[in-house]
A and B are shown apart, each in its own frame.
Chain A
Amino acid sequence: MSRRGFTLVEIVVALGVTALVMAALAGTVTASLHARAAATETLDRTTTARTALLHLERDLTAALPEGFSVSATPPTLRFTGGAEPGARLTYFVQDGALARRAEPRFGAPDAPPAPVVPLAPGVTALDVRILDGAEWKSVWTDREPPRAARVALTLDDGQALEIVVPIPTGHGRRER
């Protein structure tokens, strides 16, 4: 009796138990892989939105006194700036992305419209405030850029990103 082997039924039951344990383990592995993928996705989105804000900062820092406007509905930031020799830039939210359009500063009037570049996906709101020297305003129309701009983005996962950019050519500098 002590030398009796396993029966077929016992083996099959053991295999079945092993399979169940393996399936449970596989489920854990799959879940952690999904979590990793989701984390990477979130990180990518945040990084991309952050890069877009840095890009906007670089454009704003080079703003020229050539028509600077901010409107709140829909949120739009329009100015001339960016890399030499500068371009007419528009930042706005389109199809759930922070979009940028760069029209040549000295373009032909019949030139085809400049393409819209969706810089960063997953952006639900853009909030631009400008400092006119004394207070933050949400609307601005002038030839001169303001002293500073504060740009806030809201991402679709609820994250908020914000930068404040002092503008070297901004209002008030020459009034000193």
Chain B
Amino acid sequence: MKQHWLTRPETIRKLWFGSCGVLVLTVLAQLPFHIKAHFPFEGWFGFAAGFGFLSCVAMVLLAKLLGVVLKRRDTYYDD
């Protein structure tokens, strides 16, 4: 089966580089576009970026932890 161009390793590598560039740009964009801070911490440089990243890590880890207790095979209720 012919590999779609989007799935080729070199495209994926380029996508990673491009995405990292965009991430840097969004943080730098805070310099010309002033973020109106309702709370003091909101105006810190890159606050939203760091907060978004860390809260996602926390949620994934929490889900993983809860999964240990809550997960059952998907035929659990069929038995």
User: Bound pair: A and B?
Assistant: no
Q: Which B positions have Cβ atoms within 8 angstroms of A? A: none
